[in-house]
Amino acid sequence: VLNNGGQIEANGATATLQLSGTSIDNSDGRIVNIGTGATTIDGGTSITNTAASGKAGAGTIGGNGDVTLTAQSLTNAQGGQTLAGHDLTLNVANNANNAGGVLSAANSLTFNGANARLSNQNGSVRANGALALNAASIDSTSGKIGNDAGSGGSVSIQTGALSNQGGAIGSDQDLTLTAGTLSGDGSIIAGRDGSITLGSDYTQTAANRLHANGNLNFTTSGKLTNQGVLDANGALTVNAANVDNQSGADLNSANTTVNANGGTIDNAGRIEGDTVTTNSATLNNTGTVIGANVTSNANTINNTGAAAVFAAANQLNLYATNQLSNTGGA
């Protein structure tokens, strides 16, 4: 189906629109269902939707009801817009290119592409309801993924690799991210509770922001190196093989728990909260561990240097089954 600069439209109040072909090219065209019925588009090998001309309304696929697109590959780039008045479902087997494009749903948005690469460079993926992305890899460099403020929406992302350089990922309510790797200096912010689970080492740079307005659970099977701020307004729980909280870095919440069970916590920055708990085989502190109530459990605790501080307004508990060392002016 070639609809370059053309228009395919369903006009009835409850109209449905069905379109299929071995491929569909909607460059600078419009495929639109004005009605509230379902819009179903099967593009076979490919669906192309771009707006290179810059003409108003060009490069648009959409409907006022549910919209479903299915293809081996999807190109929704160069100002292309795929819009749903209710749910938007994208079934993509190989590649989805949303560079400079918009994927938007007034209710939920689902991307089904477990083996697909999703590129959202300078693009936008938005939903007012549940937003769920399942892709082999996601590149959201300078892109936006999330819900509108006050929408009540949530975000769930499952991918082998997520690059978020200069990008912004955010939910109005809960946010769940499961990824093999996470890279890039961007922001990931949960409007309520957040859960981030990674399968490899992760470095949080000073330019990054991982935050939850509620509780945040951060888990990695590898090492967490924190050079910035990892925080939550509620409880922050960190689980990692080893934790390196570097000078100038901060792990901060109302209830902060840092677990490196069997591993090492190196703290040259700040670990703080109303309640602070650390669990590790070894805790090397040259920075600050501070709260109203502080408990550290380890085989060995080394508090070293003039800047090293364990402080509690109410109760301080340091449990070392092997050795507790307080040296170097600490």
Please calculate the CA angle 293-299-301 and round it to the nearest 5 degrees. Answer: 60
**54 CB burial (10 A radius; 0-12, 13-18, 19+):** exposed
Q: Which residues pair with 145 in a beta bridge?
A: 125, 169
Q: What's the pLDDT tens digit per position in 13-61?
A: 999 999 999 999 999 999 999 999 999 999 999 999 999 888 888 999 9
| CB-based contacts of 140, cutoff 8 Å, min separation 6 | 120, 121, 123, 125, 162, 163, 164, 167, 169, 186
pLDDT, tens digit (0-9, with 9 covering 90-100), for 250-268: 999 999 999 998 999 999 9
CA separation for the pair 113, 326 (Å, rounded): 53
Q: How far apart are CA 147 and CA 136, in angstroms?
A: 22
329: confidence class by pLDDT, cuts 50, 70, 90: confident
Mean pLDDT to the nearest integer, 304-313: 96
Averaged over 180-204, what is the pLDDT? 98
The maximal CA–CA distance of the chain, rounded, in angstroms, is 80
pLDDT digits (tens, 9 = 90+) for 103-140: 999 999 999 999 999 999 999 999 999 999 999 999 99
CB atoms within 10 A of CB 208: 22
Non-local (6+) Cβ contacts of 28 within 8 A are: 4, 5, 50, 51, 52, 53, 55, 58, 59
Whole-angstrom distance, CA of residue 7 vs CA of residue 292: 65
Question: What does the block give as tokens for 323?
Answer: 């050795």
Residue 261 confidence (pLDDT): 85
Taking residues 136-159, report their average pLDDT: 98
pLDDT for the residue numbered 55: 86
Mean pLDDT of 3-9: 96
**CA count, 13 A, side-chain hemisphere, 321:** 7
CA-derived radius of gyration, the chain: 24
**pLDDT score of 163:** 98
pLDDT band at 328 (very low <50, low <70, confident <90, very high): confident
Name 56's Cβ contacts closer than 8 Å, sequence gap at least 6. Answer: none
> pTM of the predicted model, to two decimals?
0.95
pLDDT score for 54:
83
**What is the torsional sign of CA 197, 319, 274, 229?**
negative
Overall average pLDDT of the 95-109 stretch = 99
Residue 110 belongs to what H/E stretch?
strand 109-119
Asked if 112 and 96 count as a contact pair (C-beta separation under 8 A), the reply is no
Report residue 180 CA to chain centroid gap: 13
Alpha carbons 281 and 260: distance in angstroms, whole number? 7
The domain locations on the chain are: 38-327
Please report the pLDDT score of residue 330 as a whole number: 67
